[in-house]
Chain A
């Protein structure tokens, strides 16, 4: 999906051959990677090198588990008050494990790449959490399910209530996911493969999968917090089907927006990325929270 959007924006067509319209391309990539020979550098820290990618992947999948996808059914019972913070913590853990995998490869490019990963996500975690708290404040709860349900009655997604938070959140998420203009840790013409340099075969597949799940997760979080989650008009039949459909459509919309931002900008240097974080994002996040609190306390009860 991402590759097709990127290709179209660049005047090309993108993957076409694997499956109809290239849909099966990621699957082909995955299977091919899993069946390649595994090579371990002699000096790598074996335990971390081997297992960090797997654990990172597992953590991300576990984090996805908490996001309500099909409305008011099974998954609602697994959420709990405070799970917003918990899954943000999971993302941090997964990123940290990615950093460890790069560090464990004992390759100068891996080291630099993973150091950049660490610097970037630790820095951007703070505005991310602050901005994630904005819809939490409006909804009055820290449970994702409650936040997404609070946008149902009345049906006003938080993107309308706090549009500034939405914009800032998308930008911060872009940095957290390490996509252009913030994809310096993966800058392949500086650090070759970054933290992935020494990985081959199956472990590389898991690193890629972790990243892909992160991207979906980031988009899903945006959908949950700001776009009303899976809720939408139900036309006929089983509500769960419609909820899932709306969720997927909103997800695709968000992925398209982030991909558009990726394609349109050049890559910023690490010191520029950090200065954007500390000088722009953090104050903006704080301001956004303050603004939201002000709006909710005084303005909205009169308007809505």
Chain B
């Protein structure tokens, strides 16, 4: 059962893209992924509009001070299991803007990050490579394949396989009651 669940999670990663103060370079490469040349829908990746529907949060940009609260909010609104991918040099560490007065510098100062994809801007192939590495790490292939994993993964990741009982009863009273209704989309 756990195997099927992991299979499903790996084959259907829905992403939410959030720009936390980026220059748009990484963002347009992310949007390019949906286009015919790179077509990331092959992997089952769907770009979702609402944080509540997404599994993976793609963050670009050196987090500006104005966006910090918002980023935390969005991360909290996502249901478990969730993963965060920091795309671009700015998201990894602040990039060329580290030291500027308007930025925090790096997504991991605000929320835990699962995978880092460096580059300025990282090519779409690099982003796909990072996503595939993340998925492989969740569902490691058989030993005889031995991919070169974990190069892109640095911090300890979220639980890849949460306990089955927690998710088996969807009608149970919710585990985390959070934000107010209106603010959910701000």
The one of B35, B44, B53, B180 in contact with A43, judged by C-beta atoms closer than 8 angstroms, is B180
Whether the pair B49, A107 counts as a contact (CB closer than 8 A) is: no
Stretch at the interface among A190-198, A221-229, A246-254, A276-284: A190-198
Asked whether any CB of chain B lies closer than 8 Å to the CB of A269, the reply is no
- A-contact bits for B166-186, CB 8 A (1 contact / 0 none): 111011111111111110110
- A-contact bits for B137-175, CB 8 A (1 contact / 0 none): 000000000000000000000000000101110111111
Asked whether any CB of chain A lies closer than 8 Å to the CB of B80, the reply is yes
Nearest chain A CB to B14's CB is how many angstroms away? 8
Whether the pair B167, A14 counts as a contact (CB closer than 8 A) is: no
Beyond A3-B41, A41-B180, is A18–B11 a contact (Cβ under 8 Å)? yes
Whether the pair A29, B12 counts as a contact (CB closer than 8 A) is: yes
- B-contact bits for A103-117, CB 8 A (1 contact / 0 none): 001111100000000
Rounded to whole angstroms, the CA-CA distance of A247 and B177 in the bound complex is 46
Residues of B within 8 A of A105 (CB): 181
Beyond A17-B42, A18-B12, A31-B8, is A189–B181 a contact (Cβ under 8 Å)? no
Rounded to whole angstroms, the CA-CA distance of A165 and B43 in the bound complex is 40
Nearest chain B CB to A269's CB is how many angstroms away? 18
Beta-carbon contacts under 8 Å, B26-58 to A: 35-36, 39, 41-44, 48-50, 52-53, 55
Nearest chain B CB to A56's CB is how many angstroms away? 15
Rounded to whole angstroms, the CA-CA distance of A251 and B53 in the bound complex is 30
Residues of B within 8 A of A109 (CB): 185
- B-contact bits for A24-35, CB 8 A (1 contact / 0 none): 110111111011
How many residues from A make CB contacts under 8 Å with B? Answer: 50
Rounded to whole angstroms, the CA-CA distance of A203 and B174 in the bound complex is 12
Rounded to whole angstroms, the CA-CA distance of A13 and B39 in the bound complex is 7
Asked whether any CB of chain A lies closer than 8 Å to the CB of B73, the reply is no
Interface centre among A3, A7, A38, A107 (most CB of B within 10 A): A38
Nearest CB to that of A54 among chain B residues? B171
Asked whether any CB of chain B lies closer than 8 Å to the CB of A10, the reply is yes
Asked whether any CB of chain B lies closer than 8 Å to the CB of A73, the reply is no
Rounded to whole angstroms, the CA-CA distance of A72 and B82 in the bound complex is 50
Whether the pair A41, B41 counts as a contact (CB closer than 8 A) is: no
Asked whether any CB of chain B lies closer than 8 Å to the CB of A79, the reply is no
Whether the pair B39, A17 counts as a contact (CB closer than 8 A) is: no
Beyond the given pairs A27-B8, A36-B55, A37-B79, 12 more chain A to chain B contacts, judged by CB atoms under 8 angstroms and listed by A's residue number, are A12-B41, A15-B42, A17-B43, A22-B42, A31-B8, A35-B9, A38-B172, A40-B173, A41-B178, A108-B182, A198-B52, A202-B171
In the assembled complex, 21 residue pairs joining A and B whose CB atoms fall closer than 8 Å, in A order, are A10-B36, A13-B41, A15-B44, A16-B42, A17-B42, A17-B44, A22-B44, A24-B11, A25-B44, A27-B8, A28-B44, A29-B44, A30-B8, A31-B5, A35-B164, A37-B80, A37-B166, A41-B180, A41-B184, A109-B185, A197-B185
Residues on A close to B: CB < 8 A?
A: 3, 7, 10-18, 22, 24-25, 27-32, 34-44, 50, 105-109, 188-189, 192-193, 196-204
